[in-house]
Structure 1
Amino acid sequence: MRSIFSVYPSAFPLPGLFQSARVLALLIACLVSAQAVAQAGGAEKTLRVAYLEFPPLSYQAADGTPAGRFIELTRKVVAEAGYQPDFIYLPVSRVYLYLINGTIDVWPGVTEVPRLEGEVLESWVSPFQVQLSAWYREGTEPLEHFDQLQGKRVIVIGGYTYGGLLGWLERKPGIRLTEAPNHRSAVDMLKRNRGDYLLDYQAPVQEILNGGANNIVHESKVRTRNTAWLFSLANPRAAILRNEFDDAYLRLVEKGEVPPVRELTGGYVIPGFPEHLR
């Protein structure tokens, strides 16, 4: 018995039709695959970079964009390493949390944060130091030894651990802590005599004082700390990213586009500073 295909072969050109369909399906699959690869590559080349309010090193400008000395340096290094930055503005406590759970990839911040121990890799390159100071009003004694904080009211910034120092201060019964929500509020509290000393970093406080041309607030040097890029170990490429950042920075040094590599030292620590936090 002859089949319908043998009787009317021209009406059912199945081999050619199937072949064309297969080719079309393959082409669609290739296009979808190429698009997926491109999207994956684009995602891989974008780094989620946290930054916080720490003027003039990092801050959110009036138009909502990231700005500051450390931010501009980060832009250069990220670009030289072959990535695109996606800056995310966060409070410091959220920066720590997001580094731990991998929501962000890197933070231009300070080294040796106790809460981040075992959670991040720090770049070998340290662009500059930051200084922690004890700020006080005219008429108050300069802080020359950390024991002078006994019996005093100390203003601290909410969310800051000060490299583990906050926990030590909280356990000292003779020191009364008052928390300020941000740097400007902390300076205002000090001016209004709501504390004897303010523990805060030099750069943001000087930015505030320079803006107001205020000479009634003075500082005593407490400690210097190193800056670095901190990479989340929740990202499986953390070690690769660190190497790429360090290499990129060295290339930029050779081009004269960034400061020379610093020789790291122990830095300054005020007498009486807790030994285990040095």
Structure 2
Amino acid sequence: MPRLFLAALLAWVCCAGAQIQAADNLHPVTVGYYEFPPYSWTGEDGQPRGSVLALTERLLRHAGYRGIYRSFPGARLYAGLQDGSVQLWPGAGGKTELRGHTLEARNHFGEINLALYYRKDTPKPKIPEDLAGRGIILISGYSYWKAVNDMLNDPSLGLITHRTSTHQAALEMLQRHRGDFLVDYQQPVEQVIKSLGAEPLPFTVLHSLQLRFVASRHVEGSAILLEALDRAYDELQAAGADLNVR
């Protein structure tokens, strides 16, 4: 028995050592993300979590890379892509702040919606006229899309904005009448509603966008990295893998 145990222990040590060495041989990539459950967030143990980050690591490993994951507020993430301190972001293309600083992958792996939520006692609003003079709840650190930002900043509408740091706090503000509408991404809001056991809220989709890899132009090899990720996506999809995140 001791000999069998020793043999098994040695086999495990050799296997673990081989896995560590294999991981060390993969090219590291700095991957930036922000707290956006269920797609990306930081667990209580400090480790990255979420379906988008799991898919990112799967594709990176298939392509011969490994991710080094760092959580940022939105503005700092964009700054990292602009100066090259962040090489890859599994997010959405077309951000005006990143124009000229980034490259985008060919494939997309999901879709997210930016929505306007309101209480059940509020009639469905006509946008933008029914928002005039009303209170709009926003999430601090999030940037939205140009058409939405233009609407939020339109002086003729006279919107009153209220900001908070979490999706749950934003929903509580809306339910407590501390704002008339909430502008937020659908997936995180739906997850909070589900976790609280609350009833769904009515909403109107303001903007839909595709999730794809965005890489900094200021890091050598970013174009090659995106080509490798697109190739990995194609190969795994051809093998029957489900690569869409939900």
CA 1:93 to 1:76, structure 2 compared with 1: closer, same or farther past 3 Å? Answer: same
CA deviation after TM superposition for structure 1 residue 257, in Å: 2.1
* In the alignment, structure 1 residue 228 sits paired with structure 2 residue 212: yes
Question: Match of 1:10?
Answer: none
> Contact conserved, 1:137 with 1:216, CA < 8 A, in 2?
no
Once the two structures are overlaid, the 10-residue window that deviates more, 186-195 or 119-128, is: 186-195
Question: Match of 1:247?
Answer: 231
Bigger relative CO (Cα 8 Å, ≥ 6 apart):
2
* CA displacement, residues 108-144 of structure 1 (integer Å, 9 cap, x when unaligned): 1112111111111111111011011111112012234
Where 1:140 maps in the other structure, the secondary structure is coil
Which of 179, 195, 201 is equivalent to 1:217? Answer: 201
Equivalent residue letter for 1:226: Q
Question: Aligned partners of 2:33 and 2:190: how far apart in 1?
Answer: 19
Question: Aligned partners of 1:115 and 1:100: how far apart in 2?
Answer: 9
Question: Aligned partners of 1:154 and 1:43: how far apart in 2?
Answer: 49
- TM-score, normalising length: structure 2: 0.83
CA 1:229 to 1:216, structure 2 compared with 1: closer, same or farther past 3 Å? Answer: closer
> Contact conserved, 2:55 with 2:243, CA < 8 A, in 1?
no
- TM-score, normalising length: structure 1: 0.74
* In the alignment, structure 1 residue 181 sits paired with structure 2 residue 165: yes
Question: Aligned partners of 2:241 and 2:193: how far apart in 1?
Answer: 30
> Contact conserved, 2:139 with 2:166, CA < 8 A, in 1?
yes
> Contact conserved, 2:128 with 2:151, CA < 8 A, in 1?
no
Question: Aligned partners of 2:120 and 2:151: how far apart in 1?
Answer: 27
Question: Match of 1:89?
Answer: 71
CA deviation after TM superposition for structure 1 residue 211, in Å: 0.7
Question: Match of 2:14?
Answer: none
Question: Match of 1:15?
Answer: none
Where 1:186 maps in the other structure, the secondary structure is helix
* CA displacement, residues 174-229 of structure 1 (integer Å, 9 cap, x when unaligned): 21111222222211211221111100000000010001111163222222111111
Question: Match of 1:71?
Answer: 53
Question: Match of 1:238?
Answer: 222
Where 1:155 maps in the other structure, the secondary structure is strand
**Where in structure 2 are there 5+ consecutive unaligned residues?**
1-23
Question: Aligned partners of 1:137 and 1:216: how far apart in 2?
Answer: 10
Question: Aligned partners of 1:121 and 1:103: how far apart in 2?
Answer: 15
Where 1:231 maps in the other structure, the secondary structure is strand
Q: Point out the structure with max Rg over C-alpha.
A: 1
* CA displacement, residues 218-268 of structure 1 (integer Å, 9 cap, x when unaligned): 2222221111111011112121111111111111101222337xxxxxxxx
Equivalent residue letter for 1:238: S
Map 1:1-278 onto structure 2 (within 5 A): 45-164=27-146, 165-173=148-156, 174-215=158-199, 217-259=201-243
**Where in structure 1 are there 5+ consecutive unaligned residues?**
1-41, 261-278
Percent identity over the alignment is 29
Question: Aligned partners of 2:152 and 2:55: how far apart in 1?
Answer: 34
Question: Aligned partners of 2:25 and 2:139: how far apart in 1?
Answer: 35
Aligned residues: 219
Equivalent residue letter for 2:42: Q
Question: Aligned partners of 1:141 and 1:43: how far apart in 2?
Answer: 58
Once the two structures are overlaid, the 10-residue window that deviates more, 64-73 or 139-148, is: 139-148
